[in-house]
Amino acid sequence: MPTVQVSTMTPVAVMVGANRIVQAAGIIHPLGNADLAPEDEKALRRRIVEQALHALRTEVTRPTVFTTG
């Protein structure tokens, strides 16, 4: 079953063998940023989740880090 790890500490995720890793926004708020305006935070969360869904659809053979750009 394909999975995605959303993490701010991508080197650790690679070390433990996660195959699909999506770069998170921050350690305290991995899927958001409390300093942003509500509409900007919603857009950030959407980008991270969309990147995770893209990672799920991507065939990988080794740990791969996906960034939200």
Parent domain of 48: 5-66
Q: What is the largest CA-CA distance in the chain?
A: 38
Return all residues near 57 (Cβ < 8 A) that are at least 6 apart: none
Rounded to the nearest integer, the mean pLDDT of the chain is 93
pLDDT greater than 80 at residue 41: yes
Domains held by the chain: number: 1
pLDDT greater than 90 at residue 1: no
Order across the sheet with 5-7: list the strands: 5-7, 20-23, 64-66
Do 20 and 55 touch, CB atoms closer than 8 A? Answer: yes
The lowest-confidence range among 25-34, 41-50, 53-62 is 25-34
Return all residues near 33 (Cβ < 8 A) that are at least 6 apart: 25, 26, 40, 41, 44
**What is the radius of gyration, based on Cα positions, of the chain?**
12
